[in-house]
Amino acid sequence: LKEAGLQRVNISLDTLDPEQFHRLTRRGTFAQVWEGIQAAEEAGLTPIKINAVVVRGYNDHSVADLAQLTERHPWQVRFIEMMPFGGATDLQQSQVVRTDEIIARIEQALGPLELLNHGALDGEARLYRLPGAQGTLGFISSVSLPFCATCTRARLTADGKLRLCLLREKEVDLLTPLRAGATPADLRQIILGGIWQKPWGHGLQEGEFATNRVMSEIGG
């Protein structure tokens, strides 16, 4: 992959406990993922970013262990607030662990965190560092501190739709015009037209939830 031009990798890893990992993922083993992370580092696919979606009752007790990885590795471990959408939003809302609680748990176990970049966002993450750590901690606070006003992202789904906001149902069909013979210039105009329809925000504060798809259908 490195020889093919890949520069770095993002890896989803919600826990360091092998049994819990298997229970959460229902496939593969923690050992295989850990070997893959080490291989990526050896190949120079850096900086490595490890993403953990924190879910109350599942892996919220593991945040300090994950954060501790940055003490000995130059990685960015990113903690992501779970975003309620799909068909179980009532349950998911009760499982959201907000960034301030995650930080409090880490500081209780490992000591105070240093805020980096004066709190400015690095992409969608606000960065911190443990004292003397090689790596950094990122916190993606989509629920408690939404960054919608500066969001420049859209997502291409596996079935050829341009989803303008992960938590909104609005999508632009690209597959149908592509199969009908649309040129790159045609598709560019369709995409630009879609971007102009990008929502002002995800609507969670107003109690609006996307229910038309679950994450496995959206992809990414």
Q: Are residues 59 and 90 in the same domain?
A: yes
3 belongs to a structural domain: no
**CA 140 to CA 155: how far, in whole Å?**
17
Task: Give residue 53's domain range.
Answer: 10-140
pLDDT in tens, 144-178: 877 777 788 888 988 899 988 887 878 999 999 99
- DSSP label at residue 147: -
pLDDT in tens, 128-142: 999 999 999 999 988
Q: Which amino acid is at 129?
A: R
Q: Are residues 26 and 106 in the same domain?
A: yes
2 belongs to a structural domain: no
Q: Are residues 131 and 185 in the same domain?
A: no
Q: Domains in the chain: how many in total?
A: 2
Q: Are residues 131 and 26 in the same domain?
A: yes
Q: Are residues 135 and 158 in the same domain?
A: no
Q: The whole model's pTM is what?
A: 0.80
107 belongs to a structural domain: yes
| Domain boundary, last residue among 140, 159, 177 | 140
